[in-house]
Chains A and B, each alone.
Chain A
Amino acid sequence: MACFRCPGCGYTYDESQGDAHEGYPPGTPFEDLPEDFVCPDCAVREKGDFERARE
Chain B
Amino acid sequence: MTSYTLDHPTLGHIEYRDRKRYLWLSSLFMPLFPMLGIGLFFVTGSQWALAVPLVFSYGVIPFLDYALGSDTNNPPEEIVPQLEEDRYYRVLTWLTVPMHFIVLIAIAWFVGTQSLTVWSVLALAITAGSYSGLGINTAHELGHKKPLFERVLARIVLAVPAYGHFCIEHNRGHHKDVATPEDPASSRMGESIYAFALREIPGAFRRGWAVERERLARLGLPVWSPRNEILQSYALSAVLQGALIVAFGWIMLPFLLVHNIWAWFQLTSANYIEHYGLLRQKEANGRYERCQPHHSWNANYIFSNIVLFHLERHSDHHANPTRRYQSLRNFDDIPELPNGYYGMYLLAYVPWLWYRVMDRRLLALPHIRGDLSKVNIAPDKREAILARHGQVAGVTA
Contacts and interface: CB of A to CB of B under 8 A. Distances in A.
Interface of A: 8-9, 11, 21-24, 38, 41-44, 46
Contacts of A8: 320
A43 B320 contact: no
B176 A23 contact: no
Contacts of B217: 23
Contact of B322 (A9, A21, A46): A9
Given A42-B322, A43-B321, A22 B218 contact: yes
Chain A interface mostly: loop
B322 A23 contact: no
Interface in B304-342: 318-322
Contact of A43 (B172, B215, B216, B287): B172
A43 B218 contact: no
Contact of A41 (B146, B176, B218, B319): B146
6 contacts: A41-B146, A41-B322, A42-B321, A42-B322, A44-B176, A44-B291
Nearest to B177: A43
B19 to A, nearest CB: 27
Interface centre among B172, B218, B318 (most CB of A within 10 A): B218
Given A8-B320, A9-B320, A9-B322, A43 B219 contact: no
A23 B318 contact: no
Nearest to A49: B290
Interface in B213-249: 215-220
A10 to B, nearest CB: 8
Interface in B160-187: 171-172, 175-176
A24 B322 contact: no
Interface centre among A22, A41, A42 (most CB of B within 10 A): A42
Interface of B: 146, 171-172, 175-176, 215-220, 287, 290-291, 318-322
B321 A23 contact: no
B180 to A, nearest CB: 14
Contacts of A38: 172, 176
Contacts of A11: 146
Contacts of B320: 8-9, 42
A42 B144 CA distance: 8
Given A9-B320, A9-B321, A24-B218, A44 B172 contact: no
A23 B213 CA distance: 11
Interface centre among A23, A24, A38 (most CB of B within 10 A): A23
A44 B322 CA distance: 10
A44 B171 contact: no
A44 B318 contact: yes
Contacts of A22: 215, 218
4 closest A-B pairs (Cβ-Cβ)? A23-B218, A23-B219, A43-B175, A9-B322
A44 B290 contact: yes
Nearest to B221: A23
Given A42-B320, A44-B318, A44-B321, 16 more contacts: A8-B320, A9-B321, A11-B146, A22-B215, A22-B218, A23-B217, A23-B219, A38-B172, A38-B176, A41-B146, A42-B175, A42-B321, A43-B172, A43-B321, A44-B176, A44-B290
A35 to B, nearest CB: 11
Contacts of A21: 215
Interface centre among B291, B318, B322 (most CB of A within 10 A): B322
